[in-house]
Structure 1
Amino acid sequence: MADSALLQRTELPRPNVTLADAKVIFNEFYGFSGTIRELGSQQDRNFLIDTGEERLVLKVTRADYPQPELDAQNRAMEHLRNLDLGLRIPEPIPALTGEYIPQIEVGGQYYWVRLLSYLDGEPLTRQKYLAPEVVASFGDVVARIAGGLKDFRHAGLERELQWDLRRAGPVALHLLKSVADQKQRDRIAKAMIMAVKRLQPLASELRIQAIHHDITDDNVVATPNATGRLMPDGVIDFGDVLYGWLVADLAVACAALLHHADGDPFYILPAVKAFHARYPLSEAELKALWPLIVARAGVLVASSEQQLSIDPDNDYVLGNIEHERTIFEVATSVPYPLMEAAILDAAGMLPDEPELMMSHPLLPSLAPADFLLTDLTVTSPDLPRDTWSDQEIDWKLLARAAMETGVSSTRYGEFRLSYTKPLSPTPPATFALHIDVCLPGATEAFAPFDGTILLDGHHLILSSPELSLHLDGIDCSLEDGATVKAGDAIGTVAGAAGGVGGLRIQLCRDPDLVPPLFAKPQQSAVWRRICPSPSPLLGVGVDAPAPESKALLERRKKSFAKPQKNYYVDPPQIERGWREHLFDMNGRAYLDMVNNVTILGHGNPRLAEAVDRQWAMLNTNSRFHYAAVAEFSDRLASLAPEGLDTVFLVNSGSEAVDLALRLAWAHSGHRNILSLLEAYHGWTVASDAVSTSLADNPRALETRPDWVHPVMSPNTYRGKYRGEGATDGYVEAVTAKIAEIEEAGGKLGGFIAESVYGNAGGIPLPPGYLSAVYALVRERGGLCIADEVQVGYGRLGHHFWGFEQQGVIPDIITVAKGMGNGQPLGAVITRREIADSLEKEGYFFSSSGGSPVSCVVGMTVLDIMRDENLQQNARDTGDHLKARLEALGQRFPIVGAVHGMGLYLGLEFVRDRETLEPATEETAAICDRLLDLGVIMQPTGDHLNVLKIKPPLCLSRESADFFADMLEKVLSDGW
């Protein structure tokens, strides 16, 4: 039983010291004056003074605490400050008398006071989300402090403290007397009893040393790094320093992290790994870690409830109690064996998996050759379209397979697409920890090992000390509690003989655990050790192969050219899509908010059927005579303004731009081309030449050929000219550039620009800009090229073509991207006389651009866009989404502007709305965080500080809201 003095301390209220009292103490004992405010504390009073030159913290402690304990805290800080830990530690400051811990009297009560330097920064407790690198850094900080205190000695460390986790059980049970809620009291008591039970056999092996014992998110001070993330670099509040279990220091920190974990206890593992890397723990200490975390959680909740019963106005406790309740909920949400294995695995100390001992098959009447395996993974051919969303699809496919051989089985260890959850901020549990078998009813089952029968309806458990077999769908005539030997009959599959029955089979190494049927992907490696595959019971290999995404990425890097980048440093392996959703190999669904290539969305069945039909008939090049090329060319020409009646079909947007430039040269007879700064037009020699986006080519401005003449970017958000009058300024820049060309004796061949500034984030051009520039260019015999590859083809919603927003008609239109929904397909639309100008340079064709398959793809895309009203959806859903994003700008200063229209939007992030300093690193971190939450998003713009929002045009309002909600979550919680 805990010492009575210790238990009495748990009932002490805070010192009765006011701000006025603190002002007197600061002045009379330390000679300081300034602005004073109170800081939070559980049982002390802490006051912050700002003298104008420095900030200091006054700590007032009840005299019930012996002075040597307070001296130990001061000496511990001095000890750590003298070490090269790379951390900021408060400095104890003496009173005017030279004392470090003078005693004072306030209102007839005696208190100890201390003065410490104040550490600038922010506590992590206010950050709801902490990135894995922050969590790892947190664990490393704890290890550095623990390592620094390893050799620290002081008599004041031998103390009785309610927070000492060696005494957690009796302390919590004492505190529980103040918990009014009977149900909550019982839950805490049960959790504490279980934690202490698991700790008892390990206690003698746990190292004891001086520990801080309160390195929490409240007591770690952090400063922002380049991405804006708060990184821990200082530790405060040494009020709980004592001799205690070394691993308890890590347990306290991990418990504090759990209220940031969004319900995932594995969230702490980077901290465990980082601590162990710097200050290695023993196997016993690692096994004790989770029980200690649970114990800490129980003490926290019980202590806060008790403190509020005696000090109901304690704002510090009131502000923390919800966090502490969350910590307790997460800590008690998972079984001990799972977390023990996860922690050992994180430390690289997980022992080899023990061999399964099976001496008899479960279903000996079934031959392994009889089993037909189903495939329920992301790549399954049996899950076309959105059949994966059918809640009964697993059993439907199982039953269909059983019709062929009489026996079919699902596979253990497969990530089932049928359990995915689109528009979910957390990965669903998709990893199958069991096997489902469809087989003849009344098939006899036998015990594969010795054990005890436990019955619950049709659920049977064969339990032994090392392993339990869980069966659903068994009729058992044995009594509950009956013991059986391996090979004994244990029942028959439910269902009549000759009929069809179903059997669910699962193994578990923990006899006290009722395991889940599915595990979340991030927990699957540990869960499969607890619930090994039951396939040995059947004598057939029914395990699904593990995805080899990392090995595949290495193969890509080995054979795929390095300049061909992929999204993300650690990209998910995407193998399936449906409408605006993408699915990785773990069955995780992502909302695709960047894929302007697939304008219709992914997996469109109508398009797939049309392509399949045409491929089966013919595919060749456009120099042959066939109907599709004529029909598609007519369709495209009819979409363009009157007079633009001639079509070239090519393979891509880059080729379309390249061809458009050749047409301008051929028709005008001149080489010089005007282009815009900050623009991207393609990757071929010519299209790259007129591209000036620094994000795509950091050397763009210094490597342009002499026929390219970039002009000032008409960026109305961060350009030279903004607001009214901006158009005139930007047009004058074009006039000046033309004059420069002409003064050098050159003639103008043409001008190319995106009709909306796509790569800069969908920024609209200034009103009347294209009209004025087109007139200047045409006066000099040049041609005007509208690059609609990204922004045209209905994406803007309000207009089919981007140039319609400016009220102009170009001489040449280039288009690609969405017109093929991923099929290589692009086009140039122009006037007949311009097209004919190319004849003097020879003929032109594109091998697959105008092929029968490409033409059928193009026409089917247009049909679906029309029939499904996708341009109207782009307008309506896009306007709704833009309004949601603009509302975020009212709340979050990092949101500088929302550009664009329809479903081509750009959300620009800035560090300062006045200077417009781009938030480049923050934008990258936000995109990474959005990926965690199930959203595919990437940055764009010269500063890579704009979210390029250009999803498939089938984007639903629900999906648009999910994106806005997740973005709001990131901006609110941190990244």
Structure 2
Amino acid sequence: MTDAALVNRMQLPRPDTTPEAAAEILQTHYGLVGTLTELGSQQDRNYRIDAGDNSYVLKICRTEYDTVELEAQNAAIRHLHAKPDAPRVPNIVPSLNGREILVVTIREQDYLVRLLSYLPGRSLTRRKHLPIASVSALGALSARLARDLADFDHPGLHRSLQWDLRRAGPVAVQLLSAITDHEARDRIAKAMVAAVKRIQPLASGLRVQPVHHDVTDDNVVSHPDVHGQPIPDGVIDFGDIIQGWLVGDLAVTCASLLHHAEGDPFYIIPAIKTYHAIYPLEEAELRALWPLIVARAVILAASSEQQLAIDPDNDYVRGNLEFERKIFDVATGAQPEVMEAAILRAVGIDVAPIATDTWSALLPDIASDRIAAVDLSVTSPHFADGNWQKPDMDWRLLAKAAIASGTAATRYGEFRLSHADLLSMAPPQNFALHSDVCLPAGTAVAAPFAGRIQWHGQHLVLVGEAISLHLDGIECTLEEGAATEQGADIGTIGSEGSAIGGLRVQLCRVQGLVPPLFAAPHHASGWSAICPSPATLLSEACEAPRLDSAALLARREAHFAKPQKHYYEVPPQIERGWHEFLFDVKGRAYLDMVNNVTMIGHAHPRLTAAIEQQWSRLNTNSRFHYVAVAEFSERLAALAPEGLESVFLVNSGSEANDLAIRLAWAHTGKKNMLCLLEAYHGWTLGSDAVSTSIADNPRALTTRPDWVHPLVAPNTYRGPFRGPDSAADYLAGVTTLLETIDERAEGLAGIIAEPAYGNAGGIALPRGYLAEVYAAIRKRGGLCIADEVQVGYGRLGHHFWGFEQQDVVPDIITIAKGMGNGHPLGAVITRREIAESLEKEGYFFSSSGGSPVGSVVGLTVLDIIKDEGLQENARMIGDHLKVGLIGLMERFPLIGAVHGMGLYLGVEFVRDHETLTPATEATSAICERLLELGVIMQPTGDHLNVLKIKPPLCLSADSADFFVKALERALEDGF
């Protein structure tokens, strides 16, 4: 095809057809009648027809496209069908006369027509956010397709196409002529010139083969994975298949991802890694990849502008224009050298190191072993109680270390806690690409290599052959362009009126670039290649050790027994907490919305001090006599209803519930226990026996011992009887079960139940339910156990104990979790005569339960709850948070209900508001998306379709609002 013919094709509008004409073609030539829907396309017309149980896609294109090109598309589809592990592709549907390609006249114009089967699956089109799993899968799909097309050939592949990235430069020149906005045209032209300049030296090393050249979010279909995230596995359009650059194929895929990237060019890295793992690219191809992505972005932007000029009614092109402008902005806004380095490192190819062996000293008067490195990481011992948030905290610590040692420096490659952003949906810019040195004023600074001087304001740059040295804080009289020999003095450290001064040191490979001082953690691989460590100029200690959370996880899984699970498939390594926040080792701050273990907040200084003081004095078991156990038992008894005056102290909620069951057995002499379905009470033999949640144990309903009698869950949202006034209906089942037990004359030990359905998301029981159940149990001599482990201790805000909202008084209260704020501590509170019944079996003790340290922990937590008004905070902030969550229900029908009160809430997701079909996969995907947005959240309930919202009681209004906004974003942008 001549260049003139290619230019002519580039300027073609879509075929001038109508749905009525398409319907006539389908009936006349294929015998199909059904419902038609027009699908988008830039230069073709595509119609979906639903005919009975089958669906098809009718494709109409102009005859300027040779028949041999369409034959190549069909041949490629047949070729892939013959491959055992190829991606899913449509089937070719012949016409009634057996032909695969027809020439049809519409409005006196001939067109080429084909029919394909409709490929089922979810489209990625118009999804604002694609999760990492989807990005990775799209890269894998592109690789599989390229691999399986490698041995394909057809004459129709050897054609001129505007999308062929081998012709990107000339095509861009033709397209630019249609753009009337001079500023936009100049920006697009400059971007293409820069891209072509980087591609040309590599072009001869780029492999050529048959490539699909359009594996984009528009041209694939997907199926959900176990987390409900869309995994592309089918390709639906072969219109751009050519003989072209292999790496250009991946560039097209990566470019299509950039409008989902929220401005982050590194978003494409997972796709590149999976592509390379399946179909490895050569180093030249990897180096060419980013400029080819830029070239593709230029062609997309220019082509859409041109197409709208000639086909202004093309809603498909108009709808894509915004996305293509985003692709262009992200592609052209990135530093190409950084992206090249990140791509190479992502597949295991490191950037060649800078030769530093011949460099001389930067600070000739200071020995490297005299430079003390200051730890500013998440695990730094210098940080406590949020002091890292103070202005200039890094410099304060640096100066303090310098005063002590003479010279001190910060560490390159460190994820600084002081740059962690609270309540941010994006990772922080906290990976240090430089070192700051605090040293005596007047210290000489020398050139470690020969170069010339550049000035950027007060910022001095020594430009060498392969690298530049960036310095701040130096007094230097050398002028712009001055040549400097290696070892020559270039200035001194100045600090007017002070004995010490500061020097900022940074290296950069890219001439003319003033690099950032910090990079986001996931950008560190690229930026650290461009800005290598200056530790060679200072001290080895001035480079932070590299983190390897994956290796640590492997160590955990090698020895930590498998049944002990962890949150998330790829969990962040959490090493610090503060208030309602958790911090991973890379300095990402997460809002902790799930940690009811930490009632008063993480790392409370008052609790820390109390533990340290008591542990330094005494810690032993509760059979010794000491003041703390007496005071704590007394405080707990005072919090319980009158008559519940005996306290057992144990280590956990499981032990507390197990002991409560033993007490019921010992006091009644009976064994039968009632419990509720959908409930969880612990992992010990006894507490597990009465746990019926299939989310925690899928075999729970079939493995209960015969002394356990589960009741139908009085779930007022999705149970057989619904609403707050459904108690009578549920009580009928209770009566029936009790009568059955009565008939056996085995007697009844009691019932254990949470007074609010904690494991189901804080759902309130029907009004009056527990009062009637307790009365029926006590009538038969049984005891009533209130499991307050999750919902009690002030968490509900409006009540200190959960049973208060049911207007009942239990015989036994069990508590744990938050009462120790993470310290192993649990308790059972009961009447004296019930407690003393246990002496029939001998005495009871718990080695750590009620220890001096445990008792002090318990007392201090209670003091903090009272002194800081945390129960009242749970009421106010919980009510505020619930209003915000309810407000999302109107916009997002996936939310079926918002349960609970105070700071024990549950957001339940359903697929249908009538059938209440659980949205289990969506809930899992939402939790993964919330993690990306900086929120720790986990699903709960038998169907794992409820967000369990139970944060520390110190949660602030700003944090509550942030959670609502993060959830809103997840639901709005996709997950």
TM-score between both structures, scaled by the size of structure 1 = 0.95
Q: 2:340 touches 2:526 (CA, 8 Å); kept in 1? A: no
Q: Which residue of 1 aligns with 2:325?
A: 325
The amino acid of 1:588's aligned partner reads: R
Q: Distance in 2 between matches of 1:916 and 1:288?
A: 51
Please state if 1:471 is matched with 2:471: yes
The runs of 5 or more residues in structure 2 that have no matched partner are none
Q: Which residue of 1 aligns with 2:347?
A: 347
The amino acid of 1:5's aligned partner reads: A
Q: Which residue of 2 aligns with 1:650?
A: 650
Matches within 5 A, 1:648-797: 648-723=648-723, 726-797=726-797
The amino acid of 1:57's aligned partner reads: V
Matches within 5 A, 1:820-839: 820-839=820-839
Matches within 5 A, 1:926-941: 926-941=926-941
Pick which of 693-702 and 936-945 moved more.
693-702
Q: Which residue of 2 aligns with 1:591?
A: 591
Q: Which residue of 2 aligns with 1:411?
A: 411
Q: 1:2 touches 1:170 (CA, 8 Å); kept in 2? A: no
What fraction of aligned residue pairs are identical, expressed as a percent?
63
Q: 1:629 to 1:541 in 2, by over 3 A?
A: closer
CA drift at 1:710: 2.7
Q: 1:73 to 1:843 in 2, by over 3 A?
A: closer
Q: Which residue of 2 aligns with 1:127?
A: 127
CA drift at 1:959: 1.5
CA drift at 1:126: 2.5
CA displacement 1:60-87 (0-9 Å, x = unmatched): 3333333433333333333333444433
CA displacement 1:854-896 (0-9 Å, x = unmatched): 3332222222222322112212222222233334344444433
Matches within 5 A, 1:410-809: 410-496=410-496, 499-723=499-723, 726-809=726-809
Q: Which residue of 1 aligns with 2:379?
A: 379
Q: Which residue of 2 aligns with 1:269?
A: 269
- What SS class does the counterpart of residue 163 from structure 1 fall into? coil
- What SS class does the counterpart of residue 800 from structure 2 fall into? coil
Q: Distance in 2 between matches of 1:609 and 1:724?
A: 45
Q: Distance in 2 between matches of 1:198 and 1:779?
A: 86
Matches within 5 A, 1:360-399: 360-399=360-399
Q: 1:876 touches 1:902 (CA, 8 Å); kept in 2? A: yes
The amino acid of 2:873's aligned partner reads: N
Q: Which residue of 1 aligns with 2:252?
A: 252
Pick which of 381-390 and 617-626 moved more.
617-626
Q: 1:358 to 1:539 in 2, by over 3 A?
A: farther
- What SS class does the counterpart of residue 232 from structure 1 fall into? strand
Q: 1:823 to 1:49 in 2, by over 3 A?
A: closer
Pick which of 707-716 and 572-581 moved more.
707-716
Q: Which residue of 1 aligns with 2:955?
A: 955
Q: Distance in 2 between matches of 1:529 and 1:143?
A: 27
Pick which of 676-685 and 481-490 moved more.
676-685
Q: 1:124 touches 1:217 (CA, 8 Å); kept in 2? A: yes
CA drift at 1:841: 4.0
Q: Which residue of 2 aligns with 1:315?
A: 315
Q: Which residue of 2 aligns with 1:296?
A: 296
Q: 1:239 to 1:540 in 2, by over 3 A?
A: closer
CA displacement 1:359-394 (0-9 Å, x = unmatched): 201011112233222111111121111111223111
Q: Distance in 2 between matches of 1:347 and 1:614?
A: 52
CA displacement 1:92-123 (0-9 Å, x = unmatched): 44555665444444445443333333323332
Q: 1:573 to 1:31 in 2, by over 3 A?
A: closer
Q: Distance in 1 between matches of 2:183 and 2:396?
A: 42
Q: 1:59 to 1:497 in 2, by over 3 A?
A: same
Q: 1:838 to 1:535 in 2, by over 3 A?
A: same
The amino acid of 1:367's aligned partner reads: A
CA displacement 1:181-213 (0-9 Å, x = unmatched): 443333222211111000001111112222222
Please state if 1:160 is matched with 2:165: no
Matches within 5 A, 1:829-908: 829-908=829-908
Q: 1:629 to 1:99 in 2, by over 3 A?
A: closer
CA displacement 1:560-596 (0-9 Å, x = unmatched): 3333322223222211111110001110111111111
Q: 1:30 to 1:669 in 2, by over 3 A?
A: closer
CA drift at 1:283: 1.5
Pick which of 559-568 and 101-110 moved more.
101-110
Q: 1:456 to 1:671 in 2, by over 3 A?
A: same
The amino acid of 2:930's aligned partner reads: L
Q: 1:16 to 1:693 in 2, by over 3 A?
A: closer
Q: Distance in 2 between matches of 1:70 and 1:343?
A: 35
Matches within 5 A, 1:26-105: 26-52=26-52, 54-95=54-95, 100-105=100-105
CA drift at 1:2: 9.2
Q: 1:294 to 1:844 in 2, by over 3 A?
A: same
Pick which of 270-279 and 426-435 moved more.
270-279
- What SS class does the counterpart of residue 906 from structure 1 fall into? strand
- What SS class does the counterpart of residue 784 from structure 2 fall into? strand
Matches within 5 A, 1:194-213: 194-213=194-213
Q: Which residue of 2 aligns with 1:139?
A: 139
CA drift at 1:31: 4.5
Please state if 1:279 is matched with 2:279: yes
Q: Distance in 1 between matches of 2:687 and 2:934?
A: 34
The runs of 5 or more residues in structure 1 that have no matched partner are none
Q: Distance in 2 between matches of 1:145 and 1:832?
A: 74
Q: 1:249 to 1:835 in 2, by over 3 A?
A: same
CA displacement 1:313-364 (0-9 Å, x = unmatched): 2110111111111111221232222222222233334466454344201011
Q: 2:369 touches 2:539 (CA, 8 Å); kept in 1? A: no
The amino acid of 1:153's aligned partner reads: D
CA drift at 1:505: 0.5
CA drift at 1:457: 2.7
Q: 1:86 touches 1:233 (CA, 8 Å); kept in 2? A: no
CA drift at 1:422: 1.8
Q: Distance in 2 between matches of 1:223 and 1:640?
A: 53
The amino acid of 1:664's aligned partner reads: A
Q: Distance in 2 between matches of 1:843 and 1:810?
A: 24
Q: 1:243 to 1:743 in 2, by over 3 A?
A: same
Q: 1:941 to 1:58 in 2, by over 3 A?
A: closer
Q: 2:725 touches 2:767 (CA, 8 Å); kept in 1? A: no
Pick which of 496-505 and 94-103 moved more.
94-103
The amino acid of 1:286's aligned partner reads: L
- What SS class does the counterpart of residue 217 from structure 2 fall into? coil
Q: Distance in 2 between matches of 1:824 and 1:330?
A: 50
CA displacement 1:642-671 (0-9 Å, x = unmatched): 222333333222222233223323333333
The amino acid of 1:337's aligned partner reads: E
Pick which of 49-58 and 269-278 moved more.
49-58
Count of equivalent residues = 975
Q: Distance in 1 between matches of 2:27 and 2:654?
A: 74
Pick which of 688-697 and 160-169 moved more.
688-697
- What SS class does the counterpart of residue 77 from structure 1 fall into? helix
Q: Distance in 2 between matches of 1:660 and 1:102?
A: 80
CA drift at 1:512: 4.4
CA displacement 1:208-240 (0-9 Å, x = unmatched): 222222221111122334543332232222222
Pick which of 779-788 and 678-687 moved more.
678-687
The amino acid of 2:487's aligned partner reads: G
Q: Distance in 2 between matches of 1:788 and 1:916?
A: 28
CA displacement 1:657-687 (0-9 Å, x = unmatched): 2332233233333333222232222233332
Q: 1:690 to 1:221 in 2, by over 3 A?
A: closer
